[in-house]
Amino acid sequence: MYEDSFRLFKGSDFDFFDIYLEESFTRTIESKNKQIENVNFSTDKGVGIRGVKGFSVLFASTNDISEKSVYEKTKFICDTANPKEGINIIEMPQMSIYSYKGYPVDLDLIKNIIDSVNKTAYKSPYIVQASVTYSDKLKQISILNEEGDLLQEKRTYTLLYIELVAKLDDILQTVRKPLSAMGGFEFLEGINFESLTQEMVEKVEELLKSPRLEPQVMSVVLDSSAGGTMIHEAVGHGLEADLVFESMSVYKSKLGTKVANEKINVVDDACVEKARGSFVYDDEGTRGMRKMLIKNGILNDYMFDKMYAKANNRLSNGSARRQSYAYVPIPRMSNTYILPGNDNKETIINSVDYGLLVKKMGGGQVNPVTGDFVFEVSEGYLIEKGKIKHMVRGATLIGNGPKILQEIDMVGDDFGTEVGTCGKNSQGVPVTDGEPTLRIPKIMVGG
């Protein structure tokens, strides 16, 4: 693959380079208001060409994947960076291949799911809108890097997203359920969508009739079902090497120091089987790996790509990701978890005299420079004298990520995950977040 371009790059003065070829096929089916509103089938094919010297990056992308087109763009990049004559001839190495299994799904199976959700949801007099989005994507990539390695990987992503909107008088409430995996439709088999939808209907009806929570400082228990939004947003981004070394992270210069309670262990693991954020090779061709970011409360590592790793006299730990061939890879999370501890979930809840149990998190905002955050609570319950009481609505968590990590004093022995698409620098990549049940002794809860 692109041997002439490789030789051209190899004779240049770049620290490293890569030629990233991608072919993808995506299907999306969207249902809303009891009818299928959009069916989209799309294919994309292109190549990204990148040379890096220090912190200087020269990048080009194109849909023309011919040898001639790629060579011309490679030559322009090389001539721009360091024009020279004479190219060394490098022998190409062997190829290594890994693929995830998945199979194409009959569209009738997807329609059956949509029908099941609609049939159940609209039995409720409060549901004003039920939306179902199904998407699957087959992505085949080939990466040729400065080591001469030609790496190939096939990634299959499947996503089903259900959203119910309910109304009572002038109150509107929404519940959402994303289901996703690295793999094909098979991971949805065995799910009873009537039961799943009925649970969502009951939740949103309860939410409509729940009292609003008044702003106050109180104890908060983050249930494992909340899925790790807190660790992803308030902590994870601050451990990505580009933000750290561009002084946009509160965790800059804190390696080896205590940044959390000693019960806290945080990993980013690209090797979790079938997890949405997993991969075999990152998008520079470095093998994906498990990274212990925080160990027993001590900051142990950041997430590095090749560029920031070289600047810090170390190797990449496989954290370079890109949305597609049209983007440069940057340090990103994959599957980011707080690991389970030793505290029993019931014991954690029983320990709270007055507080909030958060079962689902919504959207929010985080300042990575300071760690300050505001998160919506989409499903929360009042705790009184160690007992779970009624649901409340309108709650938000307001605090500081590093401060909260220090103050968490109970870590459950359970574990739960949530899937999503993480946005950064106008790029979206698939991720999974996870955590056990956690107790925060004191935090501002807004109304």
The answer to whether 333 touches 232, Cβ cutoff 8 Å, is yes
Q: DSSP assignment of 401-429, as one string?
A: HHHHHHH--EEBS--EEEEEEEEETTEEE
- The predicted pLDDT at position 96 comes to 38
For domain 3-208, which CATH number applies: 3.65.10.10, 3.40.50.300, 3.30.210.10, 3.30.2290.10? 3.30.2290.10
pLDDT value of position 95: 38
Bridge-partner residues for 434, per DSSP?
A: 337, 417
DSSP per-residue codes, 223-251: -GGGTTHHIIIIIGGGGBHHHHHTT--TT
Q: Could you give the CA distance from residue 370 to residue 250 in angstroms, rounded to a whole number?
A: 5
Tally of CA atoms within 13 A in the half-sphere of 431 that contains its CB:
29
The CA-atom distances, in angstroms, between 83 and each of 12, 77, 117, 184 are: 8, 9, 61, 47
Hey, which residues does 48 pair with through a beta bridge? 20, 61
Over its length of 447 residues, how does the chain's per-residue pLDDT go in tens digits? 899 999 999 989 899 999 999 999 998 999 998 999 988 889 999 999 999 999 999 999 999 999 999 999 999 999 887 655 443 433 434 333 333 344 456 778 889 999 999 999 999 999 999 999 999 999 999 999 999 889 999 999 999 999 999 999 999 999 999 999 898 888 888 899 999 999 999 999 999 999 999 999 999 999 999 988 888 988 999 999 999 999 999 999 999 999 999 999 999 999 999 999 999 999 999 999 999 999 999 999 999 999 999 999 999 999 999 999 999 999 999 999 999 999 999 999 999 999 999 999 988 888 888 989 999 999 999 999 999 999 999 999 999 999 999 999 999 999 999 999 999 999 999 999 999 999 999 999 987
pLDDT the model gives residue 363? 80
Six token digits for residue 422: 């993480």
Chain-centre distance of CA 428, in angstroms? 8
Angstrom distance (rounded) from CA 330 to CA 323: 10
Secondary structure element (H or E) that encloses residue 110, with its range? helix 107-121
Query: Any idea where the domains of the chain sit in the sequence?
Result: 3-208, 216-446
CA-CA distances (angstroms) from residue 347 to 350, 352, 435?
5, 9, 17
What is residue 211's DSSP assignment? P
Residue from 9, 50, 40 nearest 107 by CA = 40
Assessment of whether the complete model's pTM goes beyond 0.75: yes
Q: Classify residue 225 as left (phi > 0), alpha (psi -120 to 50) or beta.
A: alpha
Structural contact between residues 333 and 241, judged by C-beta atoms closer than 8 angstroms: no
Q: Which residues of 240-276 are buried (b: 16+ CB within 10 A; e: fewer)?
A: bbbbbbeeebbbeebeeeebbbebbbbbbbbebeebb
